[in-house]
Homo-oligomer: A and B are copies of this chain.
Amino acid sequence: MSMKTKVDCNKVHYTDSIYYELEQTSRLMKKITVQLFTKLDIDLTMDEYAALDTVSVNAGICQRDLAKFILKDRANTGRILDSLEQKGFITRFIDTKNNRLVKKMGITENGLKELNMIDSKIERYLKSLTRKIDPADVDRVQETLKSFRIELEKVVEINI
């Protein structure tokens, strides 16, 4: 075997890295979830669902803070909330935070109903995705991902 070939074989490829594996797995997962939402006739987008869930555990949050949670910019966060409000799943009200006028929000009765309905609809489908994987591994991955994400948050420049 020539030296060149040997070097080539040992080359570290980005597409073999954990960063790419993460992106690919996430893209697949997103595709599957979108297909699931379509199949189950859920009339929220995935992003609206995630936003609604985030609002449900952070009552009275303002738009910018929500944007930081869901990792979208203020513009698109506003648009998602427009849709959720128009569908009657959240209410928005003007309030102050640090003496600034902000738009805060809360989940409505209907929103909570919708959230629970979606949860119950998708639960068993999502659970089945990891049936071949040791539950302990799943937990460990989630934990490590969380530590990783917290490290990433320290490095990324967020301009929201």
Contact = CB atoms under 8 A, between A and B. Distances in A.
Interface of A: 12-15, 17-33, 35, 49-50, 53-54, 56-57, 71, 119, 122-123, 126, 129-130, 132-133, 137-138, 140-142, 144-149, 151-153, 155-158
A contacts with B: majority SS? helix
Contact of A149 (B21, B30, B151): B21
A109 to B, nearest CB: 14
Contact of A22 (B15, B25, B151): B25
B23 A30 contact: yes
Given A132-B151, A137-B144, A157 B35 contact: yes
A33 B19 contact: yes
Contacts of A57: 13, 15
Contacts of A126: 17, 19
A75 to B, nearest CB: 16
Given A12-B123, A14-B122, 14 more contacts: A12-B119, A15-B53, A15-B54, A17-B126, A18-B142, A20-B50, A22-B29, A24-B71, A24-B149, A25-B152, A32-B155, A133-B148, A140-B144, A141-B145
